[in-house]
Chains A and B, each alone.
With several copies, the nearest count.
Chain A
Amino acid sequence: MLKQVKIRLQGVILPLAIILIWQLVSNYGMVNSYILPSPHHIYFRCIQLIENGSLQQNILASLIRVVIGFLTALLLSIPLGIILGLNQRVKLLLNPILSFFQQIPGIALIPIFILWLGIDETSKIAIIVYSAIFPILLNTINGIETTDKNLIEVAIINGISKVGLAYRVYLPSMLPSLFVGMRLGLSYCWRSLVAVELLGASKGLGYLIQQGRELAQPETMFLGVFIIGLIGMSFDNVSKGFEKKIIRFKSNDYKED
């Protein structure tokens, strides 16, 4: 128990140290406060926005978008990844087109999204989905392809159906890869928020960041950044914790002193 706490504490040391130095350096005017406002100013801004209630609204708006976008990305990319990982023909057919779209900047897709999906939430979700889908897809495929063939043979000889194979062998075996994909995908969801909320949003953390930049209010921008970083980090940690719970089968390994 105590050890757990100690370990947690270690991770906090570095961030705290950085913030402290940052504040000190700001106090002595060693950084340009127009570009890098002091933590104290950011905190002050935070309190301000909480008091007028707008921060909460911004967070909520983004949170909903990210959650919906991320879940949609999961729903699309995991089955697709399984199909591509298992079926060589489909893979050959779709590979070039996927490989092409993998490279396209999200901003370049905006006109198409507007044309087809309008300027409401659908388009925004689409951009989020697009940002998250490839890490999940590629890691799913990798998870499938690196599944131990020997175990698949065992499952097949035991009469497991294709669906059973997918969720009783491939799924548990690809979990580590899948989690990497999900964690990456989720963080690209957060990252995409600025671009997303340039498109017809009047609320959200990305909007806050963009507004902060345009209105030359760096503390607003950094507040947005901080909150995205913190929420994203929490999600990331939850997912890591989840991963640890699920993937129980890692063996004890040799430890050197």
Chain B
Amino acid sequence: MSLLEIHNVCKNFKIGNESVSVLNDLTLTVNKGELVCLLGVSGCGKTTFLRLISGLEKQTSGTILINGTQYKIRNRTVNMVFQEPRLFPWLSVQDNIIFGLKRNDHSKAKNLKVTEIINKLGLSPYIHEMPYKLSGGIAQRVALARAIVTEPELLLLDEPFSSLDSITKNSIMEDLLDLWKSANMTIIHVTHNLDEAIMLAQKIIVLKYRNNSTECFDIMNLSYPRNPESDYFKELKSKVFNSY
């Protein structure tokens, strides 16, 4: 069953007096429970794409359906990790993380889950600190935690690991896969890292620069954990790379 349907979506931005097309006639479907990685060169419109899905930006034309209807923002079905951490400077790490939880949702079970996520992301030493004291990578993980704890049906990740070293990243990727499986989330993950995409995705979509086409690589069938050093992946990698 498809969770997200995108039909002939166009997005233009006004630059000066010109209207510049960023996304042009995009059509795409993401199924419930799928983990999709979205690739594309810098400035090709990945962030814009996520913002359209989340409802933060309105498409110039075309339709976007989530669960068959037009998505109403504030519905908590979709959450997003932005490309920048965007932490609330007046809230401690802990308060930032629980920002999106409903006020009446501070049950014990929920608290346990939040603590678990905090621990998995290695944030427990920092929970009482204010954001300005955090390193780039820690801040990014806090932003990730903030979105994950709300357990959205559809999670949009905009380069969530860009500031992480490989060790931290690998461990978090595993945790994310666990969560994805257990929580039955659908994830669209924007990344500029091929390895990352190959390690995670069931489907890899490459967005072309100021153009109407996307290319889609289906690797749904492959099991986790994956070995990016395998020949299959090397081949896939170069295929994806060439499709940019």
Binding site for B on A (CB under 8 A): 150-151, 153-161, 168-169, 172-173, 175, 247-249, 251-252, 254, 256
Chain A nearest Cβ from B199, distance in angstroms: 26
User: From residue B144, how far is it (CB to closest CB) to chain A in Å?
Assistant: 13
Instruction: Establish whether residues A151 and B130, one from each chain, have CB atoms under 8 Å apart when the complex forms.
Output: no
- Report the minimum CB–CB distance from A194 to chain B (whole Å): 39
**Pick from B55, B79, B84, B132: contact of A252, CB under 8 Å:** B132
Chain-A contact segment, one of B86-94, B165-173, B176-184, B220-228? B86-94
Would you call B89 and A159 a contact (CB within 8 A)? no
B219 at the binding interface (Cβ < 8 Å): no
Which of B74, B82, B89, B130 is within 8 Å of A160, CB to CB?
B74
* B90-A172 in contact (CB<8A): yes
Chain B 9-27 per-residue mask, 1 if CB under 8 angstroms from chain A, else 0: 0000000000000000000
Contact of A249 among B80, B82, B99, B132 (CB under 8 A): B132
Q: Which 3 A-B pairs have the closest CB atoms?
A: A158-B100, A159-B76, A251-B132
Cβ contact within 8 Å between B86 and A158: no
Q: Could you show 10 A-B contacts with beta carbons less than 8 Å apart?
A: A151-B86, A153-B56, A156-B56, A156-B73, A157-B54, A157-B55, A157-B80, A158-B100, A248-B130, A252-B132
B contact patch SS: loop
**B104 part of interface (Cβ distance < 8 Å):** no
Is the beta-carbon distance between A161 and B88 smaller than 8 angstroms? no
Asked if B150 is an interface residue, CB under 8 A from chain A, the answer is: yes
Question: In the complex the two chains form, is B86's CB within 8 Å of A150's CB?
Answer: yes
Contact B76–A158 (Cβ < 8 Å): yes
**Chain B min CB distance to A215 (Å):** 52
**B102 contacts which chain A residues (CB < 8 A)?**
159
Q: A156 contacts which chain B residues (CB < 8 A)?
A: 56, 73-74
Inside 8 A of A256's CB, which chain B residues have their CB?
73
Q: A158-B150, A247-B90, A248-B130 are in contact. Are A150 and B76 (CB under 8 A)?
A: no
Nearest A residue to B131 via CB reads A249
Kindly list chain B residues whose C-beta atoms are within 8 Å of the C-beta of A252: 132
With a cutoff of 8 Å between Cβ atoms, the chain A residues found around residue B146 in the complex are 154, 158
Q: Is the CB of B86 within 8 A of A159?
A: no
Pairwise interchain contact B56-A254, C-beta atoms closer than 8 A: yes
Given contacts A249-B89, A249-B90, contact A159 B56 (CB under 8 A): no
Q: Does B75 belong to the interface (CB within 8 Å)?
A: yes
Q: Is the beta-carbon distance between A157 and B90 smaller than 8 angstroms? A: no
- Enumerate chain A residues within 8 angstroms of B190, measured Cβ to Cβ: none
- CB interface residues, B 101-146, toward A, < 8 Å: 102, 130-132, 146
Bound-state Cα–Cα, A160 to B56, Å:
14
- Whole-angstrom distance between the alpha carbons of A151 and B85 in the complex? 10
Contact present for B90 and A154 (CB under 8 Å): no
Contact (Cβ within 8 A) A151 B88: yes
- Give Cα distance in the complex from A52 to B130, angstroms: 54
For A257, give the chain B residue with the smallest CB separation.
Answer: B58
Please determine whether B74 and A161 come into contact, CB atoms closer than 8 angstroms: yes
A173 in contact with B74 (CB, 8 Å) = no
CA distance A157 to B154 in the complex (A): 12
CB neighbours (8 Å) of A168 from chain B are 99
Contacts of A154 in B (CB 8 A): 82, 86, 88, 99, 146
Cβ of B78 within 8 Å of any chain A Cβ, yes or no, is: yes
> How distant is B100 from chain A, measured CB to nearest CB, in Å?
3
Bound CA–CA A157/B132 (angstroms):
19
* Shortest beta-carbon distance from A65 to chain B in Å: 34
Query: Known contacts A150-B82, A169-B88; is A159 also within 8 Å of B75 by CB?
Result: yes
Smallest CB separation, B49 vs chain A (Å):
15
Known: A248-B130, A249-B130, A249-B132. A157 touches B79 (CB 8 A): yes
- Least CB separation from B143: chain A residue: A154
Is the beta-carbon distance between B99 and A158 smaller than 8 angstroms?
yes
Q: Is the CB of B86 within 8 A of A157?
A: no
